[in-house]
Amino acid sequence: MIFVDTSALYALLDADSEDHDRVRQQWESLVTSGEPMICTNYVLVETSALVQHRLGMAAVRTLQEDVLPILAVSWVEEAIHQAGTAALLAANRRQLSLVDCVSFVAARNLGINTVFGLDRHFVEQGFICIP
């Protein structure tokens, strides 16, 4: 199973992103392979807001209609949120987000060590990032 991060979803939708081509190729490979992919509802909210703000509503529609149906969603419960908040406060880093910290906790709880994403924070946390 692969955890999917906002960074990959955004690059997938932004044709002007320098990472778009390699992310799109990796996405197509993952979809074709049938490898299960999952994200949290926090990633969905973060991605939707970012895409709407930077790329517009047509990109949000593409996200909702073409991308998200392929993903499973892990709904963040209070314990995961609290653990992510504790990790964020312990890290004491301005550039590390609550969504990142919740993603780390959620992925570990699901036994996932591979992330489809471009965010270096996952690598710092010991995850394998693709592409």
Structure tokens at 100: 């990142």
pLDDT given for residue 123 in this prediction: 97
pLDDT given for residue 121 in this prediction: 96
Q: What is the pLDDT of residues 78-104, one digit of tens each?
A: 999 999 999 999 999 999 999 999 999
pLDDT band at 75; cut points 50, 70, 90: very high
pLDDT given for residue 119 in this prediction: 96
> Are residues 99 and 42 in contact, defined by beta-carbon separation less than 8 angstroms?
yes
Mean pLDDT, residues 41-69: 98
Domain 2-130 listed as CATH 3.40.50.1010? yes
